[in-house]
Structure 1
Amino acid sequence: MLQACPMYAYIPAKDIARARRFYEDVLGLRPKEETNGGVVYEFGGGTAAFLYPTPNAGTSQASQAFWSVPDVDAQMQALKSRGLRFETYEDMPGERSPQGAVTAGGAKAAWFKDSEGNIMALIETVSKG
């Protein structure tokens, strides 16, 4: 039943204005609408995320959400040029690309933290061969 329904991400923010500057100025997102004290951003494939105020932002030690992208390294390079710093997890197994993405288990991935301390990721599907 739920498998056929769209799923949306929640992105917690301690400071909505600061978070909006990050998502809109650094990542280049455009808001679809402001609602319930937060902001909705739409993405490909009919997906979306709701940036909302909460004092609990940045408390998860795991990724909050990821973007499925066709070329992680190209996205990393573009985002680095906008001032984004990517996380380096030294204990992460896999091969590292020149940009710093990790390839393992059929995916190439890179992680960064937003202005609120939430861990976000870029994921590219790659062949295991």
Structure 2
Amino acid sequence: MLSASPAFSGFSVDDLEAARGFYVDVLGLDPVDNPMGMLEFQFLHGGRVIIYPKPNHQPATFTVLNFPVDDIDATVDGLSARGVAIERYEGIEQDGKGISRGKAAGMGPDIAWFTDPAGNILSVLST
């Protein structure tokens, strides 16, 4: 019934201007015009996300946005150079950069997590 819908994802932040600075200036994303004043980003292959302000925002306790990348080490290095802290999670083995190396162990992609200014969890993962 909904399989042909151009579905998209959205999540909230407590400060839209801080989010804009992070997603545009730090992550290098290009926002598209959104008539409702929200942040909106379109990605290759038709993916789309909207980020909207919510006064009583509570950060998600799970990953809300994943960025597949060709070179996770270079991407993590670049994020770190821009002041982005890579999260470390108890019970998950991560190397010195904070990357969980699942690919070599046959346990999924290599992945590293970080948060936006509102505390939402994002990730970069190997393709």
Q: 1:106 to 1:4 in 2, by over 3 A?
A: farther
Letter in 2 for 1:110: A
Does the alignment pair 1:120 with 2:122? Answer: yes
Give the structure-2-normalised TM-score. Answer: 0.84
Where structure 2 has 5 or more consecutive residues not aligned to the other structure, the ranges are none
Letter in 1 for 2:46: G
> Contact 1:40–1:50 (CA<8 Å) still a contact in 2?
yes
Superposed displacement of residue 4, structure 1: 5.0
> Contact 2:59–2:118 (CA<8 Å) still a contact in 1?
no
**Counterparts of residues 27-66 of structure 1 (less than 5 Å):** 27-66=27-66
Which residue of the partner structure matches residue 77 of structure 1? Answer: 77
Separation of aligned partners in 2, 1:77 and 1:58: 28
Q: 1:25 to 1:58 in 2, by over 3 A?
A: farther
Letter in 2 for 1:86: I
Separation of aligned partners in 1, 2:28 and 2:91: 31
Superposed displacement of residue 13, structure 1: 1.3
Separation of aligned partners in 2, 1:88 and 1:79: 15
Which residue of the partner structure matches residue 102 of structure 1? Answer: 100
Separation of aligned partners in 1, 2:121 and 2:55: 16
Give the structure-1-normalised TM-score. Answer: 0.83
Can you list the C-alpha shifts for 1:77-119, whole angstroms capped at 9, x where unaligned? 1111111111011311x4x344221022121111001011101
More strand by share: 1
Percent identical among aligned pairs is 34
Pairs aligned (count)? 123
